[in-house]
Structures are given as structure tokens and as C-alpha cells.
Amino acid sequence: MGLVVLSWGAGPPVTKLITAPPLVGVLVRFGLSFPLLFAIVYARGGQVNKELLRSTALPGISFGINLIFVFAALQEATVAVLSTTVAIQPALLLILAGPIFGERPSRAHVLWSVVGIAGAAIVILGAGEAVRASALGVGLAVMAMLTFSVYFVLTRIARSTSDVDPIRWMAGINLWAFLAAVPPSFVWVGRSELAEFGGTDWLWVVVLAYLTGVVGHVAMSWVHGYIEAARSSLYLLAMHLVAVGLAWPVHDEPITVIQVLGGAVLLGAVTAVIRIPVSNDSP
């Protein structure tokens, strides 16, 4: 889980370094990751069959659309604004966990989750005037949060109901995510936009594809088999500390004293939830 927090936390600052149009960046990102995952699957003696492709279709398409929204949002808003919106996800997961997963968070779990979300909001919004976004940027960030929640929930369902291999799962996910980016790219991406991709964009897309994509998402797919969704989504709030911390030196988005205090609140809440026993109703 710690590995996921670090790799996913690095995602927004790295994504913001990519200057190419969002659709181009997403297309290249998944175009790099799915062949590597397929190669790993077959090198381990596995295969990507029709059953796997059927089960990964909806979450994979959701993941692809999510990353389009993430790329687009970061061109209209700061890392802090996107992170603030995504930080709402644990509250959404707490509402969905019972009906979907049969998870029954305790009152202490709910309380510390609220405290954790508040801490994340302080960390992110504590930058004050450095927090910038257009109305379009906020809307794109909301769509990024919703589409990621769909991907997160569907992956958790698959991992809790079957013994699917995380690498095979992510191979199918990344293929569908790539295919989800192809139709809009044909419609909205011209030769001039493709020509904008180059130089250091290649470096940052490779880092994004293999660090947050292959390493981070494969690890998260594995974690889904062992940690309830409502609990793991709260742990992921810690990735905003990583994102905001990296955004300071990389994008000149400074860290304030208020953000440091918010970080202490967030880490305290995550630590408290880790210490809460798992409910017997959890899968």
C-alpha cells in the first residue's frame, strides 16, 4: 500500500510536466504500458483470454477515460485542485462499501475517515492564492474523481470475487484504456497536436506509464484482495502529501505552515484507521 501511495502521489506532478494535448498524452501512455504488461504475462506462462477481456472491459474503459480527464484537468488547474477533488473519493466509497462489498465500517472508521478527508483538504487548499483553476478545470477534476471511482470499485469487486492475477488484470485494463482513447483521438487530434508531443514529453510519459501505471496499479490490484475498499481508499489520501510535496520543487506550488498542519492531521487519521480492527462482515 505504501508503494501505491508513493507511485500514485508522483502521478499528478509528473503528468503536469507533459506539454502535449491530453488525448495524445493518454494514447502514448497506454500505448507504452499495455505491450509491456502483455509481454510480462506471456513471459510468466500466462495468457490474456476472452474471459479476462470481458471482465476488464468496463473498468478498463473507465480508467482510460479517467486519465483523459486527469490530463485535461491539470492543464486547467493546479495539482492541488485536482487532489482536493479526488480526496472526496473515500467519502463516496464509505457510502458504497456496504451495499456493494458487504463492508460495515465502524463509527470510529467513519469518524477518522472524515478527519482524514478534512486533513487532505487542508493540505491541498492551504496553498491559498497558489491554488488556481478555471470552472472547466473543476468540472474535469470532478469527472476524473467519478471515473476513477468506477474503475476502483469494479477492480475491487473482481479481486474480492475471484483469484485474478493482478498482472493479467492490469494487462487487460491497459489494453481497454488504450482502446478507449483511440476514437476520441481520431476525432479531435490532428497532425499539429501530434507534432506537439516530443522532447521531454517522452521521458515523463515513460515515467508515468511504468511507475504509476505498471508498478502502482499492479500493486493496487494485488492490495484489493487483502484490504477493504473503504479502508484502502482512505490510505490513498496520503498520496496527496506526496503530490503536494513534489509540486513545490517541480511546479513552484509552495508548501505553507497550514499545509504541514493538515498533513499531520491526515497522517494521524490514516494511522488511526490502520489500528481499527477489520469488521467480520468484510470479505
Tens digit of pLDDT for each residue in 26-47?
A: 999 999 999 999 999 999 999 9
Give the pLDDT of residue 195.
Answer: 85
Give the pLDDT of residue 281.
Answer: 46
Assigned C-alpha cell, 11: 502521478
Asked if 25 and 18 count as a contact pair (C-beta separation under 8 A), the reply is yes
The residues of the chain scoring below 70 in pLDDT are 80, 91, 94-99, 101-105, 124, 127-133, 230, 274, 277-283
Asked if 151 and 8 count as a contact pair (C-beta separation under 8 A), the reply is no
At residue 277, what are phi and psi to the nearest 5 degrees?
Answer: -60, 150
Give the pLDDT of residue 42.
Answer: 95
Asked if 117 and 58 count as a contact pair (C-beta separation under 8 A), the reply is no
Give the pLDDT of residue 23.
Answer: 87
Helices (H), the chain: 2-16, 22-43, 50-74, 79-86, 89-101, 107-125, 135-161, 166-188, 191-195, 200-207, 217-223, 229-235, 239-251, 257-275
Give the pLDDT of residue 170.
Answer: 92
The three-point CA angle 58-64-65 to 5° equals 90
Could you give the CA distance from residue 64 to residue 125 in angstroms, rounded to a whole number?
A: 27
> How many CA atoms, within 13 angstroms, populate the side-chain half-sphere of residue 270?
23
How far out from the chain centre does Cα 98 lie? 22
Tens digit of pLDDT for each residue in 239-254?
A: 878 887 888 888 887 7
Q: Parse the chain into domains and list their residue ranges.
A: 2-275
